[in-house]
Structures are given as structure tokens and as C-alpha cells.
A and B are shown apart, each in its own frame.
Chain A
Amino acid sequence: MNTPLTYHIVGLLLISSIVHVNAQETPTRPTSSQLEEPLTLLWINTYGNLRLTKRLFWVAQTHFRFQETDNTPFVGQVAQLYNRHAISYLFSKEFNMSVGGVLRLNFNTSDEPVDNSVVPEWRIWHEYQFAMPLASVVVYHRIRIEHRWSKGFQDDSEFIFRNRWRYMLRLKIPIGSPKLSPQTFYIGPEAELIMQSGKPVIDSPMEDLRLHVSFGYILTPRVTVAAGIMYSIGQELADGDFYKQKWTPRLHLYFSPDLRKVRNKLPSIHLGD
């Protein structure tokens, strides 16, 4: 189980040497890609969507991501604490857009000694989501673009900058109900392709392909819980030959309180319908 981690570290270390090597000699092209052993993780995700005005929302997401250790699968150690915020603007029921920032704390998950066990990672992100009701199902197309600054755990490591290009196709299929409504179960299959670009990205543009299916329950219009399993596959940044694999059970809590005063709520309930 150590192998991917080792590769990861090696990959990171190689970044500088590749540049260095390039200047000196032509690299040898591998004859096949390598599929790494899957990691097991557990994500606990909270999604807050706080209504501020008729059309403005405050998006506040906190994800707790755990990762296996040698002895403990899925939850052996904390891998990242993930804080995503944005202001979201609701154009219509079919389209909304968000802009915001992310502060992610990356924990050192390798056995190698590092200077810092936690390093921050910063992002600016914007998102464009289209919702398309199709009979009882709602189909979502989500384009999310992130500008990402990350660094290693060593004191001397510099922030590297990458862009992430994400597209997600998601369905929410109500079960036993003609539409998504309170007290309704649903199945939510998702497929998201995350591409990346930037100077550090040489031969690994496909950062991740996430296939996720969740089973959710809408408690109220304001609270939904879901649980799912995600398989993901993506290239190692340092070496595009290597493909990481992950199995991640995910737990989701969605909450969307309305912070407006009661007086202001009533007229805005019907959003353009």
C-alpha cells in the first residue's frame, strides 16, 4: 500500500530534477502507463448554501478527507481539511454562478520526514451550473474552473500554480416520488472530469476522473443527507505514465438555511416561475 505514496513523493521530488534533466538529456519514453494500486479514503462533506437575498447565496463547504494508513484503511489519517467559500448568484432556476476562494489544509500523509506536516493550498474558483429538469430527473452540468496555488511540505518548497478545468455531469433521480421533494430518496450518479494545466503540468493533464454514485434523502427543502461511493482515476502530476486510483466512500450533508428576515422571504419564493 505504500507504493503510491512513494510514487507521489518521488513525483514531487522529481519536479525539479526533470527540469534539470531536460536541459541535459533526452528522457526515455515509457512503453506503457502504470495503474497504481487504489487508495482508500473517506470523505465527510458538508455543503452549506446560505441564502442571503433573493438571488445571492453564500456557499460554505467544509470537507473532511481521511485517508488510509498502513494499519487503517479509509480513515487512518486526516489528509485534507477543505474549506470552500463563494458567493453564488442565482440567475434562474436553470442557471447559477459562483465565485469564491478555497483554503485547503494539506496534511502530510507520507512516511517520509517533512519540515511541515500541514501546508495551505489556495484557490480562486468560479463555477457555472446548469440545471435541466428532465421528467422527474434533474440533470446538472457543472463547469468549475479553479486557479490553484499549492506547495510541498518542505520549508523550501515554492507554491506552484495550476489551473483546473472541471466538468461534471450529475443526475438526481427521485425514488418513489414524481419529483425531488422533501421526504424523498434519490440516486445521484455523477461523473466529473478534472483536467489541469499550468507550467508544472507536463504530461498529466487528466488530474482526475471521478465516478460517484450517491444515495440521498431529502429531509426538508433545507436539509438533505446522502452517502455514496466514488471511484476516481487520474494521472500523477510528476509522471503522466502513472495513474492513481481511489475508492472513496463519501458522506454528504447538505444544508441551506435562509438568512433573510421572514418579511423578505415570501415574495421571492417563486423564482421566475
Chain B
Amino acid sequence: MVFPRPAIYLFYLVFIGFQGLPYMVSGQAKKYYNGSYNLLDYRGKAEFYYQIDSEDTVYDGAFLLNQSNIKALLSSQGDDYFKIKGFFQKGMAEENWLFEFGDFKSDGRSELAGNEYIIKAKGKKHTATGSLQNGKAVGTWTHSVEQLDSSKVQDTTFMSEIVYEAGVPQQSFKIQNQNETLLGRFLRDGLAHDFWDLYTDELNGLKERWFFEEGILREIVIIDNQKNDTLSVFSDSLTNEAIVLLDDRYTKMLAVRRQLKKDSSSNLSSRINNLLIENAAYYQKTDSILTKLGSLSFMPDFKVKVEFWPLDKKEENQLAQLQELIEEVDKVGNEISENTQLQILKLTNPEVSFLISTAEAIRKDYLSPVRTLLVFHSDNILNLLKRDNQLVELSTPRSLYEVNVPLEDGDQTNYFFTELVNKDFTGSGINGFLEITQAASKAIDSMKNSLEDRLTKQERKVALEALEKILVISADSLRTITDSLALAQNDTRISIENIQSVMTDNLRHYSEMTDFLMKINTAKQLIKCFNGMIALAHIVAEIPSKRREIQEIYTDRVWNPFTATLMDEEVKRRITFAYRDILIPAYLKQVSTDLNCGNSLILKQLIEDTNERMMQLIEEETTKLERKLKRKNDPAELKQLLGIQPMNTNQ
């Protein structure tokens, strides 16, 4: 069959264009996907069947997502290999699953076998296998981490084998790493039971034993050189029993309980705990993938029993209050510690230094138990601890609180919270924390106020100094300007001299002031005033030239045929008269006799506006206006007639 050429091109275009993209083959209900696929951080090639259920992709059938890159393997970077293979039934993970995560590099060697190149991999491989039923683990799940060299397993660095029944761990389990093995068992309901023993490869390898009775951890035995260190945990029967997971929260609770018992002989660096944490991390990896794919979570839910004292409403409120108070205290504390001016002041002022140090100490030291309490709360273990005297004893700080601050002339000691000294916090629970935090917050607030007072004074002093610097600069420049402008021998000289003398008067008045606040305000005003006067001086000094300019504009050059000369003729003479002979002299007089900070800018603006208006009037038809101007000599009236806007005095 011969295709017409365009059809061939079209075929190529469609075929080549879609080759790299996933193409889907639709079954009757299921669809098949084969193409590149992203899942969390796993980016690879996928093959799977799926359905669309109200715009959601529901995996249904075999699933495979993997990635291996020979180029990356051969490079120095190495290949992040992975393979996720399993089966879904209507979105639920079913049947056998395999997870492989590798971090491989090539050792550079390859061989040809049966016409295939074989490249030997070197690196770490995490493999997880097991079965799922309705998304829940069944049978044995194995996680192993192997070290490979030349594609051969050199070492198994981790291995966990746990048997599940409908997602609940059963029977005995084994978790081991390079040289430790944890053996333990569960009841059918997943509660930890009996001995959980940790062995090492050494002779007499039992190193640690946790003893559970139906989920209740009775004791922890740490065996070191045949010397047993027994830590009893829940020795009595539990009054308020609850089942929780054997997880981070549980081990934290254990640590706090031991702290409360003032059992400092051993910190809980339990090897069993460490192995459990390691195991949980591997499970986390597979769990996140399955959860992302829409199946159920299947973390190994090791269950234990604990004492549970739920927080009541009052306690919740108190905790919320505590949280708020601590935040407030920290805010105020930061304001104090981050204020650069205070930090500078601290160097020279012992009192300031003392206050800052004290506030810091109260915040960081005195309140540290409160912070601990809040950490318990945020870790959700407060409800696993009885808020009894023990807790209060641990967390209540010394009631008599002293702060020592080393100063140049000997240390200074102050005592705080004396009112709390004899207070009995027994049975007060969280309220005791609240009380001391409130007291601390109050103390820090008052320190802040006291510091602020000093700071304000200091700040003001600095501000005034800065202001005065500017004031001096503007006064100097005003003086320089008026000195030079007053050299002009014309009618503006007296006015300009008066600008300078008004400035001098103002400065003298300012220097006689003693009130600090008033000085600051006056300095600000004077800076503004002097700047205004500088502007005014310039405008006044420009009057002669401006007058000439306006005179010129208002002058026509007229040809006089009888003299055969061009003659200057003033036009709109009533306007120029008003300007030259009434208004400008009036302004100059005001500047020279009636100048103050308040009107300097107004006068400046008035002169400017008048000049500006004169420039406009030459262009305008003014016959009527000129008639009105006849015999008018009052500046105010003339301003109005000429349309010079009286300036807004608020400006």
C-alpha cells in the first residue's frame, strides 16, 4: 500500500511524538499505564493497572515502579536503584510485595556471559518482603539491609523478621543488626509479653532484658559484666490502664519516669530501644510508599500498656496559659536582649547590665522546668505521667531564686520571688508552674519597664544630639547663605539680614531651654524653620533678578519711526506697578519686620506665587483687570485682584 507522503509524515509525527509519552490501553474497566512515573521521591518507570474512581486513580492489579540507571551506576555518583513490586485489589495492597532500595556503584569490572554484559555492583541494598491482605500485613515480613561487593552479599547489617496476623504482630520476632540481636514476643493481640532480650555476639551475650507482663513493662535489666542493673518501671498494677504503641512517645515516657524517680544511675540508652527505632525507620520507608499509593498504613504496631491520666479541662487551660505566658516572657526577653542600644548601655551602666542579666537568668534558668513541662506536653507524654508531687518536685524550681551578676566592683546578688519561698506547692500540679511563671513574667515586665525608662532617656539624649547636629548644620548653612546674600546692595538686604537675626534669636531662645522634651520638639521645629528660611532667603535674594526678568517680559520693543530707534515700552503697566511698587515692597517689609518660623514658608510661597502669577498675566487678556487695578494700592486687595492665592496657613 502506498501512502501519500503527507500521511507518512503524519504517521511518523504521531508515532514518534507519542513514543516517549505514556500510552494507555484501556481494558473494559481497568486501564493500563506504562511510562515514567513519580511517587514521592521515587522517579522511575512504572507499569500498572488502574481505574478512575471519581477522578482518583485507584490502583487495581499488578504494580511495578522501578529505576535503574546504568550510566549513573558507572559514574562516580552511583545509582539510586529502587524497585517496588506488588499487587492491588481496588486500591488495597494485596498479596506479595517486594521493596528494594539500592545505593550502588560499579567497581568498574564487567564480564560477558551468554552475550550479556555483566557489571558487578557494589553498595547497600535494603530489601523488604512480605504479604498483605486487605492492606494489612500477614505472615512474615522481612526487612534486610545487605552490603554488596561484586554483586555478592558481604554482610547483612540489619535484619528484622516479624510475623503478623491482620496487621498485628504475633508470636516471636527477631531484629538484629551487625552485632546485636533482639528477640521478643507478642501476645495474639499484639501486646508485648515476656522477655525481650538483647544479645550480642559476645560470650554470655545477654546484655539487656525488658520484662513485660501482658504489655506492662515491669522492669528493664541492663547487664554489664554480669552486673545487673535493674530498673523497675511499672511495678504495681496499673490504676488507669491504657494500651499505647511502643514508640518514641513510650520511650520518652520511660525516661521521664526514671528522671522522676531520681534514678540517675543510668540514662536510658537502651540498646533495645535503639534497635526498635532502627526497625521503625525501615518500616517507615515502605509504609510511606504504600500509604501514598492509597493503601493502609502498616507500621509494626508493637503494643504496650501504660498508666494513663488524661488531662482535664482545667489542666488543658493551665497549659495553654503557661504556653502563652512563656511566649510572652520570651518576647519581652528578646526585646531586651536584642536591643542594641541596651547592649551598648549595658557596657557603661551597671544597673542596666544587672537588669539585663537578671532577666536573662530568670528566663533561661528559673523557667527551664516550665519549659520542660511544656515539652512533655507537646510530646504528648504529660498524660502518661501522674501530675503528682513527684512531678511538681522535679519541676518546681528553687523558690528562693538568686541571681549573681559579676560586676566590676564585686558581684551583685539579688533575690527574687521571695513571696514564693514558703509556698507549698504540694498537690498544686500544673498550677504551681503557672504561679511561678506568672511571677517571673511580672518580674521580667517590670525589668523591661525599668530598662525602657533608662533607654528612653538615653535614646532621647542620642536623638537630641543627632537633632542638634542637624540643627547646627542648617543654622550654619542659613548663616552662610544669608551672609553672602546680604552683600547685595539692593532693597533685599535688610530683609535678608533680618532672616539671619530671626534665626539667631531662635537659637538663643533654644539654648536657654532646659526642658528636655521641649528641647527635642523645638529642635525639630527649628530645623524645619531654618530650612524654610533658607528657602525664603533664596527667594528674597532672587527678587531683584526676578523683578528684572518680569520687567523685561512686560516690556515691548517698539519701533519709533520718528527717532528711527527701538524703544522699550512697558505693557500692562498697572499690573507691573502693583507687582513692582506695591506687592514686592510689602513682602520685603514683612520679611524684614514681621518674620517668624510660622510665616517664613508662607512668605516664600507667596513671593513664588506672585512671581509665577506675573509670568502668567503677561499671556492673559487683562484689559478688565487693568481697569480694576486703577488706583489700587492695598497689597491684600491687589493680591486678590491679581489672583494670587492666599496660601493655606496650615502648610
Measured CB to CB, the residues of A under 8 A from B are: 47, 49, 51, 57, 88, 90, 93-94, 96, 129, 131, 133, 138, 140, 172, 179-182, 218, 220-222, 224, 254, 256, 258, 265, 269-271, 273
Contact = CB atoms under 8 A, between A and B. Distances in A.
6 contacts: A131-B564, A180-B567, A218-B567, A221-B558, A221-B567, A221-B569
Given A220-B567, A270-B557, 7 more contacts: A90-B561, A96-B561, A180-B560, A221-B567, A222-B558, A256-B559, A273-B566
Contacts of B38: none
For A88, A221, A224, A256, the residue with the greatest tally of chain B CB atoms inside 10 Å of its CB is: A221
Interface string B221-252: 00000000000000000000000000000000
Given A269-B556, A270-B557, A182 B562 contact: no
Interface string B536-565: 000000000000000000001111111111
A94 B566 CA distance: 12
Nearest to B567: A221
Contacts of A181: 567-568
Nearest to B563: A180
Interface in B562-582: 562-569
A254 B566 contact: no
For B556, B558, B563, B566, the residue with the greatest tally of chain A CB atoms inside 10 Å of its CB is: B563
Contact of B567 (A47, A94, A182): A182
A20 to B, nearest CB: 48
Interface size class of B (residues with CB under 8 A): 10 to 19
Nearest to A94: B564
Nearest to B562: A254
A271 B566 contact: yes
Contacts of B559: 51, 90, 221, 256, 269, 271
A179 B557 CA distance: 14
B566 A93 contact: yes
B640 to A, nearest CB: 28
Contacts of B556: 265, 269
Nearest to B559: A271
A80 B417 CA distance: 129
Nearest to B556: A269
Secondary structure class of chain B's binding surface, majority of residues: strand
Contacts of B568: 181-182, 221
A221 B570 CA distance: 10
A234 B560 CA distance: 32
Task: For the complex of A and B, list the 6 residue pairs with the smallest distance between their C-beta atoms, beginning with the closest.
Answer: A131-B564, A221-B567, A221-B558, A49-B561, A269-B557, A180-B563
Given A269-B556, A269-B557, A270-B557, A49 B562 contact: yes
A49 B566 CA distance: 15
Contacts of A51: 559, 561
Interface of B: 556-569
Given A221-B560, A269-B559, A179 B569 contact: no
Contacts of A182: 567-569
B563 A220 contact: no
A138 B560 contact: no
A224 B564 contact: no
Contacts of A270: 557, 566
Contacts of A221: 558-560, 567-569
B107 to A, nearest CB: 98
Contacts of B561: 49, 51, 57, 88, 90, 96, 256
Nearest to A268: B559
A178 B266 CA distance: 117
Contacts of B567: 180-182, 218, 220-221
B569 A138 contact: no
Given A221-B569, A269-B556, A269-B557, A96 B564 contact: yes
A47 B568 CA distance: 21
B561 to A, nearest CB: 4
B562 A224 contact: yes
A261 to B, nearest CB: 14
A179 B560 CA distance: 13
A181 B568 CA distance: 7
Contact of A218 (B563, B564, B566): B563
B558 A93 contact: no
For B558, B564, B566, B569, the residue with the greatest tally of chain A CB atoms inside 10 Å of its CB is: B564
A220 B569 contact: yes
For B557, B561, B567, B569, the residue with the greatest tally of chain A CB atoms inside 10 Å of its CB is: B561
B557 A133 contact: no
B553 to A, nearest CB: 12
B313 to A, nearest CB: 94
A254 B560 CA distance: 10
Contact of A140 (B558, B564, B569): B564
Contacts of B564: 93-94, 96, 129, 131, 138, 140
A20 B604 CA distance: 92
Nearest to B570: A182
A172 B565 CA distance: 11
A269 B566 contact: yes
A54 B563 CA distance: 17
Nearest to B565: A180
A94 to B, nearest CB: 7
Contact of B562 (A47, A94, A273): A47
A172 B557 CA distance: 20
A97 B583 CA distance: 47
Contacts of A138: 563-565
A129 B558 CA distance: 19
B619 to A, nearest CB: 12
A221 B567 CA distance: 6
B523 to A, nearest CB: 54
Nearest to A222: B558
A264 to B, nearest CB: 13
Contacts of A265: 556
Contacts of A47: 562
Contact of B558 (A96, A172, A224, A269): A269
Nearest to B564: A131
Contacts of B557: 269-270
A179 B558 CA distance: 14
A229 to B, nearest CB: 19
Contacts of A140: 564
A169 to B, nearest CB: 15
Contacts of A133: 565
B562 A179 contact: no
Nearest to A95: B564
Nearest to A269: B557
A220 B557 CA distance: 11
B131 to A, nearest CB: 106
A96 B561 CA distance: 9
B507 to A, nearest CB: 48
A55 B81 CA distance: 102
B566 A256 contact: no
A226 to B, nearest CB: 9
Given A269-B557, A270-B557, A93 B565 contact: yes
Contacts of B563: 131, 138, 172, 180, 218, 224
Contacts of A179: 565
Nearest to A256: B561
A72 to B, nearest CB: 31
B458 to A, nearest CB: 68
A172 B562 CA distance: 10
A258 B559 CA distance: 9
